[in-house]
Amino acid sequence: MSQPRLHVDASRRLPALDLRVRLDLDTETLVLFGPSGAGKTTTLDMVAGLADPDAGEISLDGHTFFRRGAPGTAGGAPPVRVPARDRHVGYVFQQYALFPHMTALQNVMYPLGHTPAGRGQAGGAGRAGRAARQARAHALLERVRLDGVADRFPRELSGGQQQRVALARALAAEPRLLLLDEPFSAVDAAVREHLQRDIAELQSELGLIVIYVTHRLEDAFALGHRIAVLREGRIEQVGPIAEVFRRPATAGVAEVMGIRNLLSVRVVAADAGELRLDWEGLELSAPPQPARVGDRALAYIRPEEVKLLYGDRPLSRSVAYNRFEGQVLRVLSGAGFREITVRLPNGREVDVRFPLLSYGALDLRPGVAVQLALRREALVLLGPG
């Protein structure tokens, strides 16, 4: 296996948790995913040099950024701490951190005056050096489709435009590594889609390593190649996004990724065509999956895959299995969807999600009895339960 371009093996004690992160990245976009307070921003800060680990090692393309002795790191090697300005790491902060008294062009020019090339141009070449920096900043603004706002101040820009300026500024020093901390939190859906495409193109075009922090699963799928789930200061699972979503390694990963309807089951029969599961007194049928009779496991089914049934209508094949009667406990309506929570005969609850206009003929008030089916093909087994 080739040496990873970015190696992070670092720990830092925080007031609310002990952060311990180990990651290896190549030329890719890794989504660092997890709830607030899990240590995501601190991880970016340690890589960028804005916060020091208590112990560990961080290296990029064979160059050590940080080293301080700890088990598992280079024993006996001298400590290393490269300042943030010398790491050539681009960083787009959640609130963009643009200088309010500078125009868009000046914001992008700023790091150009703080690189070795920029200092040489500014000192020895005078006006020529400034002209070169301006040309470079204009080119970056044009690359993110903002050349027309070069003379505007941040207060005169929309949220999406400010985000693009922040991205251009992060790229000014020609980084090998780009860090993005919740960069789309202040923009609407249409702008977010454009920015995601821009970043994906830049990552591929420039061969960047990108670490992208988010707590939105939609953003992770739109932009990332792999995902690292960070929970309570620990990386619990790393892998391709679709794979981690389909098969979370632990109940904690499933919870962090918003996977509901976790079922504690026991395998009662397994053959080439079917798994039969005991879910605390209810028998379920599931498609064949690696499991043995007697195994205890966690299973899950997405709320969209739980279907409500009309008592007076024929059943389709997709809902021929796992049919139960339950009682509606809660109803939640959102933009274009409705969710209900139903208590089943074993005392457990399942969430059901469907388009707002579906099941219009059913009475779905709390306390009403309903019939439902857990769609057989959508039942997925996780690890041991």
Residue range 131-182, pLDDT digits in tens: 888 999 999 999 888 878 999 999 999 888 898 899 999 999 889 999 999 8
The reported pLDDT for the residue numbered 123 is: 44
Tell me which of 12-16, 57-61, 123-127, 280-284 is least confident. 123-127
Using the Cα atoms of residue 192, residue 173, residue 225 and residue 237 in order, give the sign of their dihedral. negative
Query: Could you read off the pLDDT of 170-214 as tens digits, one per residue?
Result: 999 889 999 999 887 767 777 788 888 889 998 999 999 999 998
pLDDT band at 87 (very low <50, low <70, confident <90, very high): very high
Report the SS3 class of residue 270: strand
Question: In this structure, what are the phi and psi dihedrals at residue 90, rounded to the nearest 5 degrees?
Answer: -85, 140
The reported pLDDT for the residue numbered 300 is: 87
Which token pair is 311? Answer: 């008592």
Written as one string, the DSSP assignment of 82-145 is: --GGGS-EEEE-TT----TTS-HHHHHHGGGGGSHHHHHHHHHSTHHHHHHHHHHHHHHHHHTT
The reported pLDDT for the residue numbered 119 is: 39
pLDDT: which is higher, 1 or 205: 205
Which stretch, 2-11, 248-257, 340-349, has highest mean pLDDT? 340-349
Q: Give the separation between CA 229 and CA 255, rounded to whole angstroms.
A: 11
Which token pair is 144? Answer: 């993110």
pLDDT: which is higher, 33 or 250: 33
The reported pLDDT for the residue numbered 73 is: 47
Which token pair is 116? Answer: 């070795």
The reported pLDDT for the residue numbered 128 is: 64
Query: Could you read off the pLDDT of 245-269 as tens digits, one per residue?
Result: 877 888 788 888 877 898 999 999 9
Angle at 89 between CA 239 and CA 245, to 5 degrees: 15
pLDDT band at 1 (very low <50, low <70, confident <90, very high): very low
Q: How many helices (H) and strands (E) does the chain have?
A: 9, 21
Q: For the chain, what percent of residues have pLDDT higher than 90?
A: 59
- Give mean pLDDT, residues 30-45: 94
The reported pLDDT for the residue numbered 127 is: 65
The reported pLDDT for the residue numbered 242 is: 82
Q: Give the separation between CA 7 and CA 22, rounded to whole angstroms.
A: 8
pLDDT band at 124 (very low <50, low <70, confident <90, very high): very low
Does residue 76 carry a pLDDT above 70?
Answer: no
Identify the structural domains of the chain with CATH numbers, from first to last: 6-256 (3.40.50.300), 262-384 (2.40.50.100)
